[in-house]
Amino acid sequence: MNTIFDKIISREIPADIVYEDELVLAFKDIAPKAPVHYLIIPKQAIATLNDANLEHQALLGHMMLTAAQLAKDTGIADGGYRVQMNCNADGGQVVYHIHLHLMGGRALGT
C-alpha cells in the first residue's frame, strides 16, 4: 500500500516535520484541530490498529513515548494534551497507515 504517509516518509511529498528517528516521523497536521496538532507515524506500514500484533508492541510504545516527549518539548505537557488513534471508517480513520494525533495548547472538549 502506498499512502500519503508513505510518500511523506520517502520525501516524495513535503511535510512540516518536527521529529524523526529510526522508527517514527512526526509532522504538523495540515488541518489542525488545536494550536499544537502533530501526527506521529511509524515508518513501518501498518494499516490499522487491528492489524498490529505482538511484534509491533515496542513500536506502539515508542509512538506513545514520542508523543509524550513532543508534548514536553512544545510546552503543552503540564497543561494537558490528547493522544488519539482512529481505527477504520467508523472510528474516523482516513489514512490507512496507523498514526497518533497529538493535540494540545488549549482546553480540549470531549
Positions annotated as catalytic residues are: 99
Handedness of CA 90, 35, 32, 101 (dihedral sign): negative
Asked if 80 and 67 touch (Cβ cutoff 8 Å), the reply is: no
Report strand pairing: 24-28 vs 36-42.
Answer: antiparallel
**Nearest-angstrom CA–CA distance, 60 and 14:** 24
Distance, CA of 11 to CA of 24 (rounded, Å): 14
Pick from 9, 21, 5: nearest CA to 101: 5
